[in-house]
Amino acid sequence: MLRDRHSRRVDYVRVSVTDRCNLRCIYCMPSDGAPRLPHQEILSYEEILRFVGVAARAGISKVRLTGGEPLLRKGFVYLVEEIAGRYPHLDLSLTTNGTLLAQYAADLRRAGLKRVNISVDSLDPDKYRSITRGGELKAALEGLEAALDEGLEPVKVNVVTLKHVNEEVEGFVELVCRLPVHVRFIEYMSPCGACDPQLYVPSDRVRRRLEALGPLKEAPPPAGAGPAIYFRLPGSRGTLGFISPMSSHICGECNRLRITADGKLKACLFSPGEVDVKSLLRSGASDEDILGSIRSCLKAKKRGRDQEASPRRAMYQVGG
């Protein structure tokens, strides 16, 4: 079992498979897009599989594939199939913007993907287009419906709330009344964000808007729930939750590691600290050496957020 130096159990790895994206969400990407990493800098599928194998043998039980937009990477279904086939006990999930999911949901299910998180920041097509700088809401919602049809459940919907941009909650309330999905309002993490820090909205403010619509009853979290609290409104099929990395102290429960598309291991989203796993993978290192690099990354993990240091990477590079 893996533990960090503060004895927190670490059983979850988020693997970013690409830094490319077909959207440019205002809170995640610079307006003129981002320079892409050269192909040879990105971990190959064999390298990802080797890393996941070492992590799984060391006690990692949850793996989430993310990006950039993971569904843009060629052969992504193959990666899912190989991970699920080699490590069937893993809870294998995906975070996607959903715009290509209708095309891939059935193949992903067959390949062994268990569940999916889909980012949909507004249910108003014009607002969605403006937040994503050109995205089509219809495509994301078709992806969401396809995920439900294929049984990739629980389906969670990620909403990053931005002040005076997408604070309306009514559409999401209607969504959880109609469909068995779990909407999570996520606080904008300005230290690794791309838009004005003033757009940050604390979860409490969103919660007050929901409470104005009806009594919120605490609900059990859906499978694989991270640091979110969930509620149900009378008659709703799904739930509404809050992820509050800025206003709550969620570091105490942090159980995760992240590996970037170019093979840098990170124990904390907010810290610049990284361990270069790609160099090890490419220099004939043994599995023991790779495990040693995971342990040394965890050993350097601080108890809480490093308020002094600023994160070196944007979210599309780390994977959220």
19 binds ligand SAM (CB under 6 A): no
| Spatial separation of the C-alpha atoms in residues 14 and 95, rounded to whole Å | 10
How buried is residue 213: exposed, middle or buried, by Cβ count under 10 Å (0-12/13-18/19+)? Answer: exposed
Q: Shortest gap between Cβ of 186 and ligand SAM (angstroms)?
A: 5
Whether the link from the prior residue into 272 is cis, omega within 30° of 0, is: no
Helices 45-57, 287-299: inter-axial angle, 10-degree rounding: 70
The partner in contact with residue 186, picked from ligand SAM, ligand SF4, none with C-beta cut-offs of 5 to 8 angstroms by kind, is ligand SAM
319 binds ligand SAM (CB under 6 A): yes
Buried b (16+ CB within 10 A) or exposed e, 167-206: eebeebbebbeebebbbbbbbbbeebbbbeeebbbbbeeb
Segment lying near ligand SAM (by CB under 6 A), choices 80-88, 89-97, 225-233, 289-297: 89-97
Q: Which is nearer to ligand SF4, 112 or 135 (CB)?
A: 135
Q: Are 320 and 95 in contact (CB under 8 A)?
A: yes
| Spatial separation of the C-alpha atoms in residues 242 and 227, rounded to whole Å | 8
The partner in contact with residue 66, picked from ligand SF4, ligand SAM, none with C-beta cut-offs of 5 to 8 angstroms by kind, is ligand SAM
| Spatial separation of the C-alpha atoms in residues 259 and 261, rounded to whole Å | 7
Binding mask 11-50 for ligand SF4 (x = CB under 6 A): ----------x-xxx--xx---------------------
261 binds ligand SAM (CB under 6 A): no
Q: Which is nearer to ligand SAM, 29 or 280 (CB)?
A: 29
| Spatial separation of the C-alpha atoms in residues 83 and 85, rounded to whole Å | 6
109 binds ligand SF4 (CB under 6 A): no
The partner in contact with residue 24, picked from ligand SF4, ligand SAM, none with C-beta cut-offs of 5 to 8 angstroms by kind, is ligand SF4
| Spatial separation of the C-alpha atoms in residues 86 and 53, rounded to whole Å | 8
| 155-161 and 115-119 beta bridge pairing | parallel
The partner in contact with residue 29, picked from ligand SAM, ligand SF4, none with C-beta cut-offs of 5 to 8 angstroms by kind, is ligand SF4
The partner in contact with residue 192, picked from ligand SF4, ligand SAM, none with C-beta cut-offs of 5 to 8 angstroms by kind, is ligand SAM
Two structure tokens written together for 229: 């609290």
Size of the site for ligand SAM (CB under 6 A): 21
Cα 10 → chain centroid: 16
Q: Shortest gap between Cβ of 197 and ligand SAM (angstroms)?
A: 10
What is the H or E stretch that residue 299 is in? helix 287-299
316 binds ligand SF4 (CB under 6 A): yes
Q: Are 230 and 207 in contact (CB under 8 A)?
A: no
Q: Which is nearer to ligand SAM, 173 or 189 (CB)?
A: 189
27 binds ligand SAM (CB under 6 A): yes
Segment lying near ligand SAM (by CB under 6 A), choices 62-70, 104-112, 164-172, 210-218: 62-70
132 binds ligand SAM (CB under 6 A): no
From 18, 66, 244, 260, residue interacting with ligand SAM (rule: CB under 6 A): 66
Residues binding ligand SAM (CB under 6 A): 21, 27-28, 66-67, 69, 95-97, 119, 158, 160, 186, 188-189, 192-193, 315-316, 319-320
